[in-house]
């Protein structure tokens, strides 16, 4: 597959949404966006051939693959979700597609992949969702433990290996998922033993760690917050790996069923990573059934979940929902609870302490009739139950808030037409989302 460099200018896509339709049938959860980004960056460690299964065909993946192709990585889609990668002996980093690199925050994980392969290199400032200032200082501090020197330039981070001393004990400044992945990727090619402390054990970290194990890296502490890694000197191995299912997509479909008062079955939900969310929903009165339990090819416990979205909902007992590092409510699940709480009889505080802007984007739901009070840049009160109305709205530059608006439009009265404009934010994290929702009864037209 030949990817364009730089990416072609695509027409702005909009969703025209008819309200009042009931969802029915079954829908399958696709591969995880966040797992895919960590694993793709880790694949640059391998000089052999890497074959990845269950790769989501989303814009976030497209951007990092455009970066890969620009630096010389050979890419071949074997089918709709199977990707073969083969990197050259020497990456051409000077030719990096900066436009694509700046459109994904995951590009920061290239620092971990390249630190022991290049004496000096530049990484453009990371982009992604516009959710306020989110420091990458934990990444920079982590890289210094591996002997790196980082200089902040006007448009790039300049990374150089200025010494051979690697700290045996690496303390992460932030219990963040991406910085934990990045530390594991860096340690994998460090040719020494290191201990990474105060990491996370969230799904994308576990998936990236298991991928590194397939490359021959010895890692203990998976599913904990302390990892012991025996790094290799080089990797040249033909391997295959299946990316796990996306727990946030599973929560998305659960929300769609709730908000449209529909009954659907969601297949291949990764139970361990949505169990806390399900317990919160059970507390709110949602009725659901686990129809089937089984395991993926990589040993992840999966369920087929039947959701009865017509349940009468109430607020959680303490009238407050917030996210915390795993195992707790996932940061990317939190916005969906804001929408779900519009259907509960009462008032709930949604506390999004991680991002400055995302709570502000939640207030966009008021344009569709939701009762949302902004407390500050991190907190909103949501009161319900809400009857949604149609509206014409430009999608915010943030993935999850944009999806909330789409679901609220689907829940508007029957035959009412809403428009959600410029839906690139949704395409960043969801593959062919309109058509997949239409396959279970939604009425969404994609127009230029």
Domain assignment of residue 5, yes or no = no
Domain assignment of residue 46, yes or no = yes
What is the 3-class SS of the chain, one letter each residue?
CCCCCCCCCCCCCEEEEECCCCCCCEEECCECHHHHHHHHHHHCCCCCEEEEECCCCCHHHHHHHHHHHHCCCEEEEEECCEEEEECCCCCCHHHCCHHHHCCCHHHHHHHHHHCCCCCEEEEECCCCCCCCCCCCHHHHHHHHHCCEEEEECCCEEEEEECCCCCCCEEECCCCCHHHHHHHHHHHHCCCCEEEEECCCCCHHHHHHHHHHHHCCCEEECCCCCEEEEECCCCCCCCEEEECCECHHHHHHHHHHHHHCCCEEEEEEEEHHHCHHHHHHHHHCCCEEEEEEEEECCCCCEEEEEEEECCCCECCCCCCEEECCCCCCCCCCCHHHHHHHHCCECEEEEEECCCCCCHHHHHHHHHHHCCEEEEEECCEEEEEECCCCCCCEEECCCCHHHHHHHHHHHHCCCCCCEEEEECCHHHHCCCCCHHHHHHCCCCCEEEEC
Averaged pLDDT, 37-48: 98
Same domain, 363 and 400: yes
Residue 214 is predicted with a pLDDT of 97
| Domain-ending residue, one of 242, 257, 276 | 242
Same domain, 47 and 180: yes
Asked if residue 327 has a cis previous peptide bond (ω within 30° of 0), the answer is yes
Residue 242 is predicted with a pLDDT of 98
Strand ranges of the sheet holding 320-322, from the earlier edge strand across to the other edge: 320-322, 346-351, 379-384, 371-376
pLDDT at 283 over 70: yes
CATH code, 366? 3.65.10.10
More confident residue, 256 or 126: 256
Do residues 400 and 357 make contact, with C-beta atoms less than 8 angstroms apart? no
What CA–CA distance (Å, rounded) separates 19 from 406? 10
Same domain, 120 and 99: yes
Confidence of residue 135 (pLDDT cuts 50, 70, 90): low
Task: Tokens for 96, please give them.
Answer: 């990096």
Domain assignment of residue 1, yes or no = no
Strand ranges of the sheet holding 193-197, from the earlier edge strand across to the other edge: 169-171, 193-197, 226-230, 218-220
Averaged pLDDT, 166-189: 95
| Domain-ending residue, one of 242, 276, 292 | 242
Q: How many domains does the chain have?
A: 2
pLDDT at 131 over 50: no
Same domain, 317 and 205: no
Domain assignment of residue 6, yes or no = no
| Domain-ending residue, one of 181, 210, 242 | 242
Stated length of the chain: 448
What domain range is 381 assigned to? 14-28+245-447
Same domain, 349 and 423: yes
Task: Tokens for 133, please give them.
Answer: 């200032």
What CA–CA distance (Å, rounded) separates 96 from 330? 33
pLDDT at 29 over 90: yes
Residue 10 is predicted with a pLDDT of 62
What CA–CA distance (Å, rounded) separates 165 from 246? 38
Residue 1 is predicted with a pLDDT of 40
Same domain, 356 and 291: yes
Residue 356 is predicted with a pLDDT of 75
In tens, the pLDDT along 59-112 reads 999 999 999 999 999 999 999 999 999 999 999 999 999 999 998 888 999 999
Domain assignment of residue 253, yes or no = yes
Asked if residue 114 has a cis previous peptide bond (ω within 30° of 0), the answer is no
Same domain, 52 and 167: yes
pLDDT at 7 over 80: no
Q: Which residues face 294 on adjacent strands?
A: 302
In tens, the pLDDT along 286-331 reads 999 999 999 999 999 999 999 998 889 999 999 999 999 899 999 9
Residue 6 is predicted with a pLDDT of 43
Domain assignment of residue 295, yes or no = yes
Q: Which residues face 383 on adjacent strands?
A: 347, 371
Same domain, 219 and 266: no
Residue 99 is predicted with a pLDDT of 93
Domain assignment of residue 7, yes or no = no
Contacts of 39 (CB under 8 A, 6+ apart): 52, 207, 208, 211, 241, 243
Same domain, 213 and 137: yes
Same domain, 165 and 24: no
Domain assignment of residue 4, yes or no = no
Same domain, 84 and 216: yes
Same domain, 43 and 91: yes
């Amino acid at each position: 597959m030949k990817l364009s460099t730089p990416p072609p200018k695509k027409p702005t896509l909009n969703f025209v949404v008819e309200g009042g339709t009931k969802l029915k049938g079954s829908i399958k959860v696709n591969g995880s966006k966040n797992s895919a980004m960590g694993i793709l960056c880790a694949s640059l460690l391998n000089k052999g051939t890497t074959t990845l299964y269950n790769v989501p065909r989303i814009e976030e993946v497209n951007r990092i693959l455009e970066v890969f192709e620009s630096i010389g990585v050979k890419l071949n889609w074997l089918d709709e979700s199977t990707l073969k990668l083969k990197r050259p002996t020497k990456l051409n980093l000077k030719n990096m597609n900066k436009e694509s690199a700046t459109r994904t925050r995951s590009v920061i994980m290239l620092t971990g992949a390249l630190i022991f392969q290049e004496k000096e290199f530049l990484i453009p400032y990371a982009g992604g969702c516009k959710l306020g200032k989110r420091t990458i200082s934990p990444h920079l501090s982590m890289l210094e433990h591996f002997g790196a020197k980082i200089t902040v330039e006007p448009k790039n981070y300049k990374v150089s290996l200025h010494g051979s001393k690697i700290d045996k004990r690496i303390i992460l400044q932030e219990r963040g998922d991406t910085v934990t992945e990045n530390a594991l990727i860096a340690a994998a090619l460090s040719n020494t033993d290191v201990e990474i402390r105060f990491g996370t054990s969230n799904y994308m970290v576990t998936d990236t760690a298991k991928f590194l194990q397939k490359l021959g890296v010895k890692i203990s502490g998976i599913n904990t917050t302390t990892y012991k890694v025996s790094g290799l000197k080089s990797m040249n191995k033909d391997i295959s790996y299946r990316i796990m299912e996306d727990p946030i997509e599973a929560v998305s479909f659960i929300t769609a069923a709730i908000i449209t008062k529909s009954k659907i079955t969601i297949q291949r939900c990764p139970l361990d990573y949505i169990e806390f969310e399900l317990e919160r929903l059970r507390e709110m009165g949602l009725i659901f059934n686990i129809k089937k339990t089984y395991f993926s090819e990589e040993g992840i416990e999966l369920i087929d979940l039947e959701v009865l979205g017509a349940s009468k909902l109430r607020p959680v007992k303490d009238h407050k929902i917030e996210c915390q590092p795993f195992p707790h409510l996932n940061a990317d699940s939190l916005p969906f609870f804001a929408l779900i709480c519009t259907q509960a009889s009462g008032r709930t505080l949604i506390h999004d302490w991680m991002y400055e802007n995302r709570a502000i984007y939640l207030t966009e739901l008021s344009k569709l009739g939701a009762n949302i009070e902004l407390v500050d840049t991190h907190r909103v009160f949501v009161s319900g139950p809400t009857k949604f109305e149609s509206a014409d709205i430009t999608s915010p530059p943030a993935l999850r808030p944009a999806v909330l608006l789409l679901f609220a439009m689907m829940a508007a009265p029957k035959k009412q037409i809403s428009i959600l404009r410029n839906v690139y934010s949704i395409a960043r994290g969801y593959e062919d989302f309109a058509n997949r929702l239409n396959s279970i009864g939604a009425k969404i037209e994609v127009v230029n």
